[in-house]
Amino acid sequence: MPAPLPPVSPHFYSARLLQAMAGGDHARFLADGGRGLRPRLARALELAAIEPGQTVVDLGCGRGEAAAHAAQMGAAVVALDYSLDALRLSGTTAAVVAPLGDVAPAAADASNLPLSDGCADRVLWLDVIEHLHPWQVRATLAEVRRILRPGGFVVIHTLPNRWALRVAYPLLRAVAPSLPASPRSAYERAVHVNEQSPLSLKRALTAAGFASRVWVEEWSTVQAGRQALDGGQVPDSEQVPDSGQAVDGGPFLEEGLSGDRFPDPQRTRGYPALRRPAVRLVAAGAMRTPLRWWVGNDIFAVARPDRGHFVSPTR
């Protein structure tokens, strides 16, 4: 049996890369005191229905926007990441957005959590699963099942939807031929080792002993419109070098586009296409039909441990 593939290196999640790939969102978020939460994250927190006094575990907290907002809601938040740069960014975010909130950072691998059984009311697992190999996903879901209290659940968001990239992206390129042939940036090709479809995510949750609801939504056109309204350039601290230069041990970012909104041409060229009224109209219409499974690029899931389902130990 072949050895498991090693985890993606934390060097790919340096502070500069995390900020650069946000396209200026994080700097604006801090400048606004946390009011400008990205729509996808706001939707995930809505699904979490967090109540004051609950314990929330944010697995792969990244820049810390969701953790800070959960703390604003009165939760005690454990913000975990295996990137020390991410934890530092998350700490900065919490200090600005929720200075009186309870956010405890922890350096940890999601597949081996330093948390006690039944300690969490909610688990946030947002934009992480696509960065984990299948063996890591299985181990992490076993840990999530272990730490959730009775009645607790996990909220998952992942993108891209493999089905949407296969079907909707070629159609978008027919409207906007200047888009890159590949929908994935060089960075995404380096770190997205396990992109999901709604079906693959549903199967993974069922195999791990979760009863779940998995569905798709379409937030890409919303994010594209939000970027247009923000205006301005990416702050100097968030710009990335020209193509061919490594960033803090991270990947080579194709077409560096220093000083532009994003370091990758997929979004720099893609968002203007997504802002076209005809594209938005067609996307909205398709999302009201069965075609939504191949149009919506955002996969969400809410999953609860199925206590009657036996899962053999992963370790």
Least Cα distance to 190 among 109, 111, 255, 253 occurs for 253
Angle in degrees, CA 206, 128, 82, rounded to 5: 120
Encode pLDDT of 257-303 as tens digits: 333 356 778 888 888 999 999 999 999 999 999 999 999 999 999 99
Encode pLDDT of 234-260 as tens digits: 333 333 333 333 344 344 344 333 333
312 pLDDT higher than 80: no
Encode pLDDT of 30-46 as tens digits: 999 998 899 999 999 99
Distance between CA atoms of residues 15 and 129, nearest Å: 20
Mean pLDDT of 34-62: 96
DSSP class of residue 261 equals: S
228 pLDDT higher than 80: no
Least Cα distance to 57 among 184, 183, 153, 194 occurs for 153
Q: Which helix (DSSP H) or strand (DSSP E) does residue 76 occupy?
A: strand 76-81
Q: What is the pTM of this model?
A: 0.88
2 pLDDT higher than 80: no
Distance between CA atoms of residues 225 and 228, nearest Å: 5
Encode pLDDT of 83-101 as tens digits: 999 999 999 999 999 999 9
Least Cα distance to 216 among 276, 163, 267, 281 occurs for 163
Domains of the chain: 24-305 (3.40.50.150)
